[in-house]
Structure 1
Amino acid sequence: MNRFKLFIPLIIFVVMAAFLWRGLSIDPNHLPSALIDKPVPAFDLPNLLRADERVTNADLAGKPYLLNVWATWCPSCRIEHPFLNKLAGQGVAIVGLNYKDENEPAREWLKNFEDPYIINIADQDGRFGLDLGVYGAPETFVVDAEGIIRYKHVGVVDERVWRSTLAPIFNQ
């Protein structure tokens, strides 16, 4: 029995090392979404650029698009924005979701940095973002022509992310 007590620290070390090893193999940017393969939640929100207009799911039906969650308070969104402009220039449909932001600064942002979005939804209180399971900005969802969410990417979309992850799903 006394010999067994000598191995307890070794056993504890091995168990802890196994947990740490497993933790190192997890991608910290991968945050699974419960909405994968489910429709975009129903919404009826103001158009950021035309406050008198409303945007609903029906306005986005019929073609695939990227739903990009962004805000002026988000420094990573500033890094991502030039690449979104490039994608829009290549014909990729991108819908903006201005998340928990003030409308006027957001409009100024789009005026100063160009507007890659086919439409921009204002979600000032963040309820639609909550329905989508948004953790923060930037986040990008790949939505197919039927309005089904096929993928969620948390973080900046750049050339590498587009080519390796989003484009293959978007182009299916």
Structure 2
Amino acid sequence: MTRRQVMFALPALATLAAAGGFYAMLSGMRRGSFDPRGVPSALVGRPVPEFALAPLPGWDKPGLSSADIAATARARPVLVNFWASWCVPCLVEHPQFMRYAAEGIPVFGINYHTGTQTDPGATAWLRRHGDPFARIGIDITGRVAVDFGVYGVPETYIVDRTGIIRWRMAGPITPEIDAEQVRPLLRSLS
């Protein structure tokens, strides 16, 4: 093969390799073996990271800290949810959180990576859809999300009575996930 033929063949081979990888990923999705939520969390089995967040401005709820989570979790397991007003999947899972709150299951909210001191979209979102959160902290810089290992919203954690993270969900909690994973784990930890 001449040098010129190699120069023409390399881009074609790279394109074929990329297409093959993409096809393999899609095939895995169809078979159900590819799960983007399957990235494990380094925090499962470890304590909640230390943090203290200011309250959501314009909303009548206190801020949130790791001490608040630990204090509440001593009585019963709690959920910690990273959410944002611009997050469509957050709206998908919101009815589950409203049910948890109505049943007395503590849910703590962390308004994800706003980049500003205020988030008027968050207060409007809560007025429109309801507020299931016992406390809400605003993660202006995204530092708390980084400490938790969050890579997108929504992301939810279950914390047991000893303050240890026992479960993580990247993506929305659907009714199926609630029935198959959340409820059984909450029962076993109570």
TM-score, with structure 2 as normaliser: 0.73
Aligned to 2:132: 116
User: What is the CA deviation profile of residues 6-60 of structure 1, one whole-angstrom value per residue up to 9, with x for unaligned ones?
Assistant: xxxxxxxxxx9xxx59x82242221200001100100011122358x55322222
Aligned to 1:98: 111
- Return the offset for 1:82: 2.0
Aligned residues between the structures: 154
Aligned to 2:16: none
Question: Any gaps of 5 or more consecutive residues in structure 2?
Answer: 1-19
State the AA in 1 paired with 2:110: L
User: What is the CA deviation profile of residues 73-95 of structure 1, one whole-angstrom value per residue up to 9, with x for unaligned ones?
Assistant: 11111122122112211222111
TM-score, with structure 1 as normaliser: 0.80
In the alignment, the residues of structure 1 paired with residue 183 and residue 63 of structure 2 have an alpha-carbon distance, to the nearest angstrom, of: 29
Aligned to 2:36: 28
2:111 and 2:122 in contact (8 A); partners too: yes
Aligned to 1:59: 68
State the AA in 1 paired with 2:149: G
In the alignment, the residues of structure 2 paired with residue 26 and residue 103 of structure 1 have an alpha-carbon distance, to the nearest angstrom, of: 35
Aligned to 2:86: 73
State the AA in 1 paired with 2:84: A
In the alignment, the residues of structure 1 paired with residue 166 and residue 142 of structure 2 have an alpha-carbon distance, to the nearest angstrom, of: 22
Mean alpha-carbon deviation: is it higher for 100-109 or for 60-69?
Answer: 100-109
Identity %: 37
2:47 and 2:164 in contact (8 A); partners too: yes
- Return the offset for 1:171: 2.0
User: What is the CA deviation profile of residues 103-144 of structure 1, one whole-angstrom value per residue up to 9, with x for unaligned ones?
Assistant: 222122112211001111110211000000001101110111
Classify the secondary structure of the residue corresponding to 2:98. Answer: helix
